Amino acid sequence: MAINMFLSPGVNAVSRTRRSTYSPTTATYAEEADNWIAVLMVQREMNDLERHIDMLKKAILDKSAPLKVVQTRLEGRTHRPEMELCRDPPQHRMVREVQELSESVESLRHKLSEAENSLHRLAQIRARLDHDLGVKTNSIYIDRDKCLAIRKSFPLSQPHMVDFTLY
């Protein structure tokens, strides 16, 4: 009985430690699952953003061809002889069209730049999540495969249920 009283605090401490490590381990599993979900969401958003970037690039190309045509026509008008070289309504329309198309292309380029910056930030977030996931996976591996066997050997029951009497 004296040994039981002597060992009882140690058994209590081991039991408390085992219970206290159970909750963080469970939390680590939950965090790993949350990280997987976050990685999938970031990847989905990156895919959407890449499609958006492709559409912006196509829109810029689609606007560039008409812009070149109008600029060429306007350039041709500047080489007209004498009386034909004037500022008439068609020339004013072409100048406005060049301005509108140039502003539109510039706006698309600005949006493209913002989208590419967002994609870069998402890639950084994805890399950080992948690193965190690797750390958590390694922690779970260590806990499950290396420490679990040791922890299973410690009793989880109350100390009064463990009898350390010598016969």
> What does the mean pLDDT of the chain come to?
80
CA distance 117 to 138: 32
CA distance 57 to 63: 10
Residues 6+ apart with CB under 8 A from 24: none
CA distance 124 to 160: 54
Which residues of the chain are modeled with pLDDT < 70?
A: 1-26, 28, 151, 154-167
- Burial readout 50-80 (b: 16 or more C-beta within 10 A, e: otherwise): eeebeebeebbeebeeebeebeeeeeebeee
Q: Using a pLDDT cut of 90, give the percent of the chain over it.
A: 41
Please give the pLDDT value at position 64.
92
Distance of CA 148 to the CA centre of its chain: 33
Give CATH for domain 2-161: 1.10.287.1490
Tokens representing 118 are 């967002």
Instruction: Supply the pTM of this predicted model.
Output: 0.64
Please give the pLDDT value at position 80.
80
Please give the pLDDT value at position 6.
47
104 closest CA partner among 167, 60, 150: 60
Please give the pLDDT value at position 167.
41
CA distance 154 to 98: 81
CA distance 5 to 165: 10
What are 75-115's pLDDT values in tens digits? 888 888 877 778 888 888 999 999 999 999 999 999 999 99
Instruction: Locate the domains of the chain by residue range.
Output: 2-161
Please give the pLDDT value at position 119.
96
